Homo-oligomer: A and B are copies of this chain.
Amino acid sequence: MKISQRVLNTQFSPIRKLVPYAERAKEEGKKVYLLNIGQPDIETPKAFFEGIKKYSSKVIYYSHSAGLLELRGAFSDYYKLWDIDFDPQELIVTTGGSEAAIFALASVADPGDEVMVIEPFYANYKGFAEMLNVKLCPVKSDPETGYAVPSIEEFEKAYNENVKAIIFSNPSNPTGAVYSYEEVKRIVDFAKEKDIFVISDEVYKEFTFDGTKHVSVMDFEDKDRFILIDSVSKRYSACGARIGVFATKNKKLLEQVMKFAQSRLSPPLLAQFGVLGLLKDLGKDYYQGVALEYQKRRDAAYEEIKKIEGAVCKKPHGSFYLSVKLPIDDSEEFIKWMLTDFDVNGETVMVSPLSGFYATPGAGKQEIRIAYVLNSEELRKACNILKEAVTVYNERKIKVK
């Protein structure tokens, strides 16, 4: 009786694996600022709850495997706001962006195949790839450049014949980088040259600051090559709804992916009604308001982080994460230590170690991800605690030596 190698090989989520330490810290009476997970505190708009109230059938039935047609229509209209053209029939409503990523990876790669990824990347791509026996082929971006898209030479160096697609998120989780037109074009051109699929995770598309604008892969030609991954989780502060989208204009691919969708029957029904409410009710002003709030938080977090001596962090312009390289030896050990052995007046901080967001072994050991999902005042406090922790941690290390 043997547990599969694939699950043994799968990494524990770097976002959630240190949760037991945080729980213990709380039990001990510490206040823990949770900056590890992208769970926003902003209220889910009322339209979600109103949408659910409109559900009038007495049976909670399966929806169409691709999601309610009306919901697909509403998503199609919503994308038009951003000049992204998708017919309802080109969309499959998924159980969160997670399932959209699983469908994408499984439909472009077989076991042994590789999918290129700009690292650091959204850590759960790795979990999904491991479940599907797809190997990630990393091309590295650096804190020193603000995690900009690597040069074409670096793509060429990282590439091999087993690569069938490239996946990335823009705005980036975990780095907050917002890719310029030229950067997205570099990815698209490379994919065209190698004749591979492009999987573009555009979950944070509205979260851009300082006048930067999100560039979708759908702005480019050769659209049969593109798969768009979307989710309502962050946009509407509706993580628990578990509603995402797999979108492609590639008819053959879509028809094939429908097999996966049919096998799991349907996405959650009531949440679909909730999201229908959101999509019909909210316009661009809503997204702009949310982006402004996160911009304020980014300002607060970034200002405080910059005060940490030796920290490397270029101002990020999107999503609600920032990654920072700290003057420490091992961020996972550091975070555990903050939870078990450190506090400032009974308060401490939890963030995510960035090593789990890399596919290259040993990479990202000095980096952390901060999700700025608290209000600005709390964020400042939390970042100050972090700053203090870096100092004490390093002094302690010196003493130990």
**Complex CA distance for A61 and B268, rounded to whole angstroms:** 15
A63 in the interface (beta carbon within 8 A): yes
B6 lies within 8 A of A106 (CB): yes
B124 lies within 8 A of A264 (CB): yes
B37 lies within 8 A of A58 (CB): no
Binds B, one of A234-242, A287-295, A323-331, A389-397: A234-242
**Complex CA distance for A260 and B263, rounded to whole angstroms:** 18
Given A59-B237, A239-B62; A3-B106 close (CB under 8 Å): no
**Complex CA distance for A266 and B243, rounded to whole angstroms:** 11
> Smallest Cβ distance from A58 to chain B, in angstroms?
4
B268 lies within 8 A of A242 (CB): yes
**Count of chain copies:** 2
Chain A positions 2 through 17: 1 when the CB is less than 8 Å from some CB of chain B, otherwise 0: 1111111011110111
B131 lies within 8 A of A106 (CB): yes
> Smallest Cβ distance from A307 to chain B, in angstroms?
30
A107 in the interface (beta carbon within 8 A): yes
In the bound complex, residues from chain B placing their C-beta under 8 Å from that of A339 are none
**Complex CA distance for A348 and B43, rounded to whole angstroms:** 49
A196 lies within 8 A of B1 (CB): yes
A5, A40, A132, A237 interface centre (most CB from chain B within 10 Å): A132
Given A58-B43, A60-B44; A242-B267 close (CB under 8 Å): yes
A40 lies within 8 A of B59 (CB): yes
A59 lies within 8 A of B42 (CB): yes
A interface, CB within 8 angstroms of B: 1-8, 10-13, 15-17, 37, 39-44, 48, 52, 58-63, 65, 95-96, 98-99, 102, 106-111, 113, 124, 127-128, 131-133, 164, 195-197, 224-225, 237-242, 252-253, 256-257, 259-260, 262-271, 274
A-B interface, 5 closest residue pairs, ranked by CB to CB distance from nearest: A240-B269, A127-B263, A13-B262, A268-B268, A98-B264
Known pairs A3-B256, A102-B264; list 11 more (Cβ under 8 Å).
A1-B197, A4-B107, A5-B110, A11-B259, A13-B262, A41-B59, A43-B58, A44-B58, A48-B60, A127-B259, A240-B268
